[in-house]
Amino acid sequence: MSFNSLSDRALPERIKTLISLSQRFGPVFPTYGVIPTPNNSWKCECRKGVACEHPGKHPRITRWNTAATTNEKQIADWCIEFPHANWAIVAGWLIDIVDLDAKPGKPNGVLAMEAWEAIHGRISTLRVASGTGIHLYHTAGSGLPESSNDRLGIDARADKSGYVMAPGSRHQNGRIYQIIEENELSACPAWLTAELYQNQPDTASVSIHCIHSKERGGGFRGEPAEAGAIPSPAYVESPVRRVSDHHAGRPTRDGGNPD
């Protein structure tokens, strides 16, 4: 594949790409990147190296949520100062992100979304392959609260209090975040907000919990800006329950990681 990481690109192209990303998706800032190891894997470029808890994902700068910028000069300065950096986009300015994760042995958010979309119709919006799943980019202000849900394998990044790794960043597993569906951004549909927040927690424990990835490898932890527990209103019958009951006990082999 010809796609390369931001840090692989020549400085002028890297600067140009990041300015374009910031204009399209919102303020950006550098995080630590990952660098190759002698045994063909990747480690965080910070002092902790292979022991880093958030390899390639923790901020290179202090006060990222106020320092993140669309300013061309600042972006260029950071590109020069941090040549191996990965890059993050702050959620909630221009985009809200639904982060579907497919970690080995954990609830598979990618499959959960496939089940929901089979019922509600496929969402037309921009999709990015992440290190171990998929990011759906939606227009900001679509009602998603910043949240994590380990039982679903789905996080939401919004409210200017979270961030996602930008396309062109490299995950510790070597994969490069990249746009896989280049659509116009759409608002997060009401049915998805309902599935994520109004149908919890029972839907997750009863039905989605049986959908696990069989992929190996990883060690991926979600985006570093973790959030508190989601609200848990009363249980509402969910269409997903019917779908996942149908598949209970025989998770599919594919449909996990996008690449």
Residues that bind Zn ion (CB under 5 A): 32, 44, 46, 52
| Minimum distance of Zn ion from residue 132's CB (angstroms) | 18
CB atoms under 10 Å from CB of 128, counted, come to: 23
Nearer to Zn ion, 57 or 138 (CB): 57
Residue 57 Cβ, how far from Zn ion at the closest point, in Å? 8
Helix, strand, coil share (%) of the chain residues, nearest 5 = 30, 20, 50
In this complex, which beta carbon is closest to Zn ion, that of residue 52 or of residue 240? 52
How is 169-231 classified by DSSP, letter by letter? -B-TTS-B-EEEE----BPPPHHHHIIIIITTTHHHHHTGGG-BB----------S----PPP
Rg (CA), the chain: 18
User: What is the signed CA dihedral for 159, 7, 54, 18, rounded to 10 degrees?
Assistant: 0
Smallest separation, CB 172 to Zn ion (Å): 9
58 or 212: CB nearest Zn ion: 58
Shortest Cβ distance from residue 52 to Zn ion (Å)? 3
User: Cα dist. 239→40, 118, 151, 170, 214 in Å?
Assistant: 44, 10, 17, 36, 24
* Residue matched to tokens 């998770």: 251
Question: Least distance in Å: CB of 242 to Zn ion?
Answer: 43
Q: Return the number of the residue (53 or 259) whose C-beta is nearest Zn ion.
A: 53
- Pick the closer one to Zn ion by CB: 31 or 238: 31
Q: Give me the least distance between CB of 49 and Zn ion, in Å please.
A: 8
